[in-house]
Amino acid sequence: MHRKGTLLLAALATLAATAAAPAAPAAPAAALAESAPTGFASVDAWGQNGTTGGAGGPTVTVSTADALIAAIKTTGPRIVHVNGMITLPDGMYDVASDKTIVGVGANSGITGGGLNIGLPTSSVASPPADAVHNVIVRNLTFRDASDDSINIQMFSHHVWIDHNDLSAGYDGLLDIKRGSSYITVSWNHTHHHTKNMLLGHSDSNGAQDTGRLKVSYHHNWYDRTPQRNPRTRFGDPVHIYNNYFFDNSDTGPACNADSGCFIEGNYFEDVEEPMTNSYSGPDGAIVERNNVFAGDTGEPVTGGSVEDPADYYDYTVDNPQSVKDSVMRGAGPGTIGL
């Protein structure tokens, strides 16, 4: 399989702005900011009814590292407004259950450190009673993380990652692993990074991951991110719909190790390999329908059977011809009105 491995560094060195291209035809599209998650974060499961974050708790506004770290780890519901760019010391900082962490305006966020949503790693094979759950992260800019920008692990569930801008981290921009499930990743803009989004960290972690890692990715802008857009293991179904993939020099979604990806209504532009279930390690499965393959985009590699996301939740797929325009206008911070 041909891969432009030697071009990965060059891809990261290009300008952040997406190259000009003809606008997508006008068509009805999703609202650019939703009041509640769609997809797996909306499902009632594991004792949690949808994802509401810190609703019902006090609202605090933070503008320093110490205040942010204290607010996100506090027990009980809390809405944390992040005002301005906050530099955290290197490392990952724990987020407790029932939290909403949301940026004020279009220019608030976190640099240096990252957010960890989950208990410490262990070999337990079923969700513990105290698994982190019901967390919302919205309208934030993540830059220059010393590790991951956001890490979700250890059976964390009902998490909504929405309308963020993520770039230039050390490891992953958004990793979901170790049995975590019922998660929606929506309207995020990722760029200037190679190892973008990982779902399932190891081919050998089936004991924790099989039957879990149920994640919806929709209306995200994968902007010149070469790989892990996302790369998946074990999750079935992984629902990937209405995203805009631009100039991904290795792959779009790579679905392996018994994962099943349902990929529909996306817009792929200049993507070397738009999707594959045979990337590295054991094969996965892909069901592909109603996607747009534009510009210098290769052929999809698909096959196998995947659970239908419609068995879990109701959703509407936008006309894929409208996706490029709506995602470029709506992804990232600044559209949710805080």
Residues taking part in catalysis:
228
Place of tokens 């100039």: 247
Separation between Cα atoms, residue 206 and residue 38, nearest integer Å: 27
Asked whether the beta carbons of 240 and 262 are under 8 A apart, the reply is yes
Q: Are 244 and 324 in contact (CB under 8 A)?
A: yes
CB 212, CB 155: distance < 8 Å: yes
DSSP helix/strand/coil, 13: helix
In sequence order, which ranges of 195-310 are alpha helices (DSSP H)?
A: 206-209
CB-CB contact of 220 with 189 (8 Å): yes
Decide: 280 and 257 in contact? Cβ < 8 Å.
no
Contacts of 92 (CB under 8 A, 6+ apart): 113, 114, 115, 116, 147, 148, 151
Q: DSSP assignment of 28-54, as one string? A: ----SS-SS--GGGGSEETTEES--TT
Q: Give the burial class of 146: count Cβ atoms within 10 A of its Cβ; 0-12 exposed, 13-18 middle, 19 or more buried.
A: middle
| Whole-number Å distance between alpha carbons of 300 and 254 | 10
Quick one: which H or E segment has residue 80? strand 78-82
| 230 upstream amide cis, omega within 30 of 0 | yes
